Chain A
Amino acid sequence: MIIDGSESSLKKFLAELSPVDQVGAEARAVMLATRSIKTTSKAWAIDTAISMVDLTTLEGADSPGKVKALCAKAVRPDPTDLTVPSVGAICVYNDMVKIARSELDAIGGKDIPVAAVATAFPSGRASIAVKKIDTQDALDAGANEIDMVIDRGAFLSGKLGEVFEEIKTIKEICGNKAHLKVILETGELVTYDNVRKASYLAMLAGADFIKTSTGKVAPAATAPVVMVMLEAVRDYFALTGSRIGVKPAGGIRTTKDAIRQLVLVNETAGSEWLKPSLFRIGASALLNDLLMQRMKLRTGHYAGANYVTVD
């Protein structure tokens, strides 16, 4: 064990983490964004990115109809082309989990997991009792993955033990039934040092995935932030031997953005992480752009938005 479970040992461990070189991290992220991925590599990257998309709808206006349409798209993103892989998962609010699960099962998407954003998403401002019920409710509805938010207020005011316990409690509820993704909301964490600390804190508390953002706060999944988190999972693997996944979410809208994320993964955590079980991209508009780029590669001419579905 790295820590003995007490708050003081957790604080000591996090305090001893080396700080992030801000200028260096940003420069490296910019440098990696200039990698040119073309032809067959691009085709591979597009298909890999599609299979990593957590197709998301998290709006107050979500309806069963919209969720069902999204499920159809998840199973077969491009109905005119059967070679397009299915997406990584569907990500919805709690009350839509049941609808998504039964729709996916009905249309041949049994293997596609449903992720629920539980624990008073997106702010996380609710008592632990409510968060526990929220999580249990999602699991009962058939969620395969739980995306929880951390209490940023507690984290920023130094109550690290509180945040740690909360993640641990939710992890216990998830048990073996569901994967736990912990949303750090990096846009509110202010510094890269905090992102690194929060990443370790979440991993030590039992996260299966660490996720950048809710998508409701800007900036979201910026390249340096994702890189810092990828470094954390890489180092955590060296330390403990267990591989934790990473999920950037928010602001990834184009194929170029997605491919840059894959480059970051490959160059930071390593190619081991280049699979949907260890890397996901939370997005909604991205999928259409990936499909359009795929059409361009296949047909040789530029595709148009009229030839993919409207979400």
Chain B
Amino acid sequence: MSRIDVNKTYKLFIGGTFPRSESGRVYEIKGANKKFIANPALASRKDLRDAVVAAKSAGSGWANATAFNRGQILYRIAEIMQGRSEQFIDEICLLEGVSNKVAKLQVEEAIDTWVWYSGWCDKLSSVSGSQNQVSGPFYNFTTPEALGVVAVFAESKPSLLGVVRTLAPVIAAGNSAVLIASESYPLPAITLSEVLATSDLPAGVVNVLTGKVSELAPWVGSHMEIDGVDVAGLSKKQEDEIKLVGADNLKRIHRFSTTNHPERILSFMEHKTIWHPIGI
């Protein structure tokens, strides 16, 4: 007698826990071979709202952690991913229909991306900050600081790398993130959330939603608590719509042409300039 597969019904990742969608909805995803893979949660706008609340409350703790500590935690994410690379490889093969070898390369590159961005954490203020010359007896410094809550629409393909290279720079900057996984390739984002839950990352710094991107995008755009958006996973039309409603609270809305670049981190940071009288 053949064994019946135990197919997973995946959940969301909000505030360090794995809740179902408040709507109770799920949807089916199929692999490259058109066979059923799993039922991820179909997030509603209220799940987005909850994710933003979680991200906001985690924000100050993460932004005020030392840059060195943030770098260590990003590196730890890479370590844990390394240990679970087989699972990532299997999922990529199933979803994208690529060979084991190609999937392995993608996973390795994703892990390396975490390591690369972890190194950036404590170098940002040296690279982008400055000591400014002013006409007066003042020290004048400019330093980059985290923006706040950033929503990330992950790229569909490559399914794992598309998540990591959009998410890593956002949290390296000290922001907290709401990641909206690709609609058709959500598995690597979900498995990544299981990695994040066990890698010392404070609860709420990354929240992962799965579901219909077209349903969530307008709510992301108009949410006054979201300060920045990486629109990598959106169409040009959806991007324009988000820009229209996002103007209300001056959202930083970016689409990057580079892969790994400090520009991706610094675009989600604000520069603060401090004047301090000399001799006091």
Query: What residues of chain A have their CB less than 8 Å away from a CB belonging to chain B?
Result: 300-307
Contact = CB atoms under 8 A, between A and B. Distances in A.
Interface residues of B, number: 11
Q: Is the interface of A mostly helix, strand, loop or mixed?
A: loop
B56 A301 contact: no
A305 B245 CA distance: 18
Interface in B49-73: 49, 52, 56
B219 interface: yes
B222 A302 contact: yes
B223 A301 contact: yes
Q: Is the interface of B mostly helix, strand, loop or mixed?
A: helix
B123 to A, nearest CB: 29
A112 B214 CA distance: 47
B98 interface: no
B27 to A, nearest CB: 24
Interface string B55-99: 010000000000000000000000000000000000000000000
B225 A301 contact: no
A302 B216 CA distance: 13
Contacts of A305: 56, 225
A302 B245 contact: no
Given A302-B219, A302-B222, A302-B224, 11 more contacts: A300-B222, A301-B219, A301-B223, A302-B225, A303-B224, A303-B225, A304-B224, A304-B225, A304-B249, A306-B224, A306-B249
A305 B60 CA distance: 13
Contact of A307 (B56, B219, B224): B224
A305 B249 CA distance: 12
Nearest to A301: B222
7 contacts: A301-B222, A301-B223, A303-B224, A304-B249, A305-B56, A306-B224, A306-B225
Interface string B211-254: 00000000100111100000000000000000001001100000
